[in-house]
Amino acid sequence: MLAATAVLLLVGGWMFAFYPIYVFPEPAPFSGPQFLNPYEPRDGRWLKANFHAHGIAWGGLTNGRTAERNLAEAYAAMGYDIIGLSTYWRVETLDGGPQVFPAYEHGGNLGRSHHLVIGARSVLHFDYPLVQTVHQKQFMLRLLRRPGEVLVIAHPRLRGGFSFSDMAKLTDYDGMEAVSGIRQSQEWWDAALGAGRLRWIVAGDDTHDSSDRDQTGVCWTMIRAASPAEGDVLAAIRQGHAYGVEGRGGRLGVALDSCEMRGRTIHVRTVPAATAITFIGQGGTVRRTVGNASEAEYTFRDDDTYIRVEIVGQGTHLYLNPVVRTAGGPPDTAEARVNWPASIAMWASYGVLSLVVLASVWYGWPGRFRSRRTRGVPELSTGQ
């Protein structure tokens, strides 16, 4: 029993030690006299996309109640241009039927720190199975991010998978599922944006049953891309040419017509008229709301670092990507760096602990084994 326990401690200990300690960039709110507007120029066409849906997979071990082919057909029937089946740790392809966009969901931990890998060509199966530290979360993002793919933090609010503090620190990912069929996470998005982390929105159902209209066709992403081709779609997401939608049955009751910058003023137009157009700044603070209108505008104040817009109307809620201040060109994208002295010290401490455990087993186990073998055997007398 002692030997088995020692092995478990060693394996588990080294698994949890297998990550670096990071130094995270200091929060640096967006600044500068110019503005980056992801909705200019107005080229391409709008495509309706969902990247987060689960069918029956892995012999039913994961939570999915619909055959994956039927799930894809349900989205095709609702007029989706892009259909992603985000099976856990598997990039799904279907022979015949609707074309499926390559994607998968990564995450096998109790803390529900999950990710969507969009445009994936291979799968990373490694994960830390318990609640993760911010350093483990950063390491996973660095392992998952690969050229040509889009990495998204999934439903950050779910079971505390990510904290506000995490959002202000983490780097090395492209987008955030701030709008989800199972959790709304706009505050987490604002925490990242307020710290100067420019992350674009992705919205998804996270459905597990296509027959349930309360979880299928309720959250999706509108993407303005040159075409539905994989490269064009991924490029559009990376550049923020998208907005999130919350609705019913995949139906867009109100749509974004344009979002323009006129000097310091952001001007939004919808089709048809919206019930409310709301301008939101850092910390999720509402700056202005215009009711029952097809056009609205807001002028950046000196203390506004970004403004994002939410639009409500006709049973639909739109979440636009932010317009952010910049000194010219895209904002600086500082990344977390490894703190080598702290990392080496941590690894060394685990090494010493492992040696102590091994030594205790090596020297202690044989003695205890011999004592059990000789227990109850009488001593031999050397009497006269």
Which CATH number fits the domain that encloses residue 206? Answer: 3.20.20.140
Reported confidence tier of residue 383, pLDDT bands at 50, 70, 90: very low
Q: What is the pLDDT of residues 181-235, one digit of tens each?
A: 998 999 999 999 999 999 999 999 999 999 999 999 999 999 999 999 999 999 9
Task: Provide the whole-model pTM.
Answer: 0.91
Over residues 168-183, the pLDDT tens digits come to 999 999 999 999 999 8
Neighbours of 168 (CB within 10 A): 19
- Do the domain assignments include residue 73? yes
Distance CA 126, CA 105 (A): 13
Confidence of residue 7 (pLDDT cuts 50, 70, 90): low
Residue 382 has pLDDT above 50, yes or no: no
Please tell me the total count of domains within the chain. 1
- Please check whether residue 371 lies inside any domain of the structure: no
DSSP helix/strand/coil, 180: strand
Position 157 in a domain: yes
pLDDT digits (tens, 9 = 90+) for 193-202: 999 999 999 9
Query: 45 in a domain, yes or no?
Result: yes
In a domain, 105, yes or no: yes
Q: What is the pLDDT of residue 94?
A: 83
- Has residue 76 been placed in a domain? yes
List the end-to-end C-alpha distance of the chain, in Å, as a whole number.
44
Is the pLDDT score of 375 beyond 60?
A: no
Q: Is residue 334 in some structural domain?
A: no
3-state secondary structure of 16: helix
Is the previous residue joined to 272 through a cis bond, with omega within 30 degrees of 0? Answer: yes
Please give the residue range of the domain that contains residue 77.
Answer: 30-328
